[in-house]
Amino acid sequence: MKRREFLLQSSTLAIGSALLPSFSISQKEVKNIGVQLYTFRKEMAADALGTLKQIAAIGIKQIETAKSEKGHYYGFSPKEMKQACTDLGMTLRSGHVHVDKDWKKTMDEAAESGQEYLICSSMPTSGQTVSNYKKVAEIFNKAGEECKSRGIKFGYHNHEYEFESEGGEVLYDVLLNNTDAKVVYMEMDIGWAVVGGKAPLDYFNKYTGRFPLWHLKDMNLAKKHSVEFGKGGVDIMAMLKNQKQAGLKYLFVEQEEYASTPMESMKYNMDYLKRQRI
């Protein structure tokens, strides 16, 4: 290549790089895109290992489990689930559980699996009141300490209902304000927060660094169901632009409804991120 041609191509590349969206994330961060296995709930129940192989084949590196008819690990032991992921170049990073009568067993199994996070996926007591959310905060603080003693980080995953209010207080805010940020982490479900009428970015700014995990999903806001990225009312790229403010470490793509099949929807979502230079 002649020197003049080289300089011309180099200049073109430099200009192109300067025009890239400011919200592009690094290759290191790309590796932290994962999936919540509830997306593949039927497939995991039918053939867990085969489904994990398909998930790995489309470039997903991080796994978050959901409780199934076969337990938290889809018929595997905790160690077997960890090994299955490792063999496929993935990491069992997190799991959705309940804080209930089997809580000690749940923690012990999570420690055995080597996962980093244990996420409570529903309120342990009922009642859309400030007093109940303060009670839950106490339960979560204790659970957080118990998990910490086992080398695990405890967290909570929101839905839509946490953003309801009582007496002018948003219940989700009550939970945030009464939990210890050192032992209770938040997994922000972006889609459900938007459906609940709240702006996730407001929470990232007000509670900076408290959201190391996300469920990233787009939503048909009228029907309140999930759709592929770019087809709903959630500004996916605006969320990713503010990941540092949130304290994001891992995002799990979750889709609860599909245009065709879970795998086709997940491929579409991954391709969407690639097209946006993610």
State both tokens at 121.
Answer: 């996926």
Phi, psi of 18 (to 5 degrees): -65, -25
Q: Angle CA(52)–CA(40)–CA(102) in degrees, nearest 5?
A: 90
CA atoms within 13 A on the CB side of 93: 23
What is the pLDDT, as a whole number, of residue 276? 77
Which helix (H) or strand (E) segment holds residue 237: the answer is: helix 236-241
State both tokens at 212.
Answer: 């190391």
Residue among 235, 245, 231 at smallest CA distance from 194: 235
- Taking only the tens of pLDDT, the chain with its 278 residues reads 444 443 444 343 333 333 333 334 443 444 479 999 999 999 999 999 999 999 999 999 999 999 999 999 999 999 999 999 999 999 999 999 999 999 999 999 999 999 999 999 999 999 999 999 999 999 999 999 999 999 999 999 999 999 999 999 999 999 999 999 999 999 999 999 999 999 999 999 999 999 999 999 999 999 999 999 999 999 999 999 999 999 999 999 999 999 899 999 999 999 998 887 65
What is the pLDDT, as a whole number, of residue 131? 98
CB-neighbour burial class of residue 186 (10 A; exposed 0-12, middle 13-18, buried 19+): buried
Q: Does CATH place domain 33-275 in 3.20.20.150?
A: yes
CA dihedral 141, 145, 148, 149 (to 10 degrees): -170
Q: Cβ(73)–Cβ(106) under 8 Å? A: no
State both tokens at 142.
Answer: 């204790």
pTM confidence score: 0.88
What is the pLDDT, as a whole number, of residue 29? 43
Q: Count CB neighbours of 81 within 10 A.
A: 27
Pairing mode, strands 218-220 and 169-170: unpaired
Q: Cβ(128)–Cβ(161) under 8 Å? A: yes
Q: Cβ(278)–Cβ(24) under 8 Å? A: yes
CA distances to 76, 78, 103, 192 from 188, in Å: 28, 25, 22, 9
If you compute the radius of gyration of the chain from its CA atoms, what whole number of angstroms results? 20
Q: Cβ(154)–Cβ(147) under 8 Å? A: yes
Q: Angle CA(214)–CA(119)–CA(256) in degrees, nearest 5?
A: 55
Distance CA 14, CA 9 (A): 9
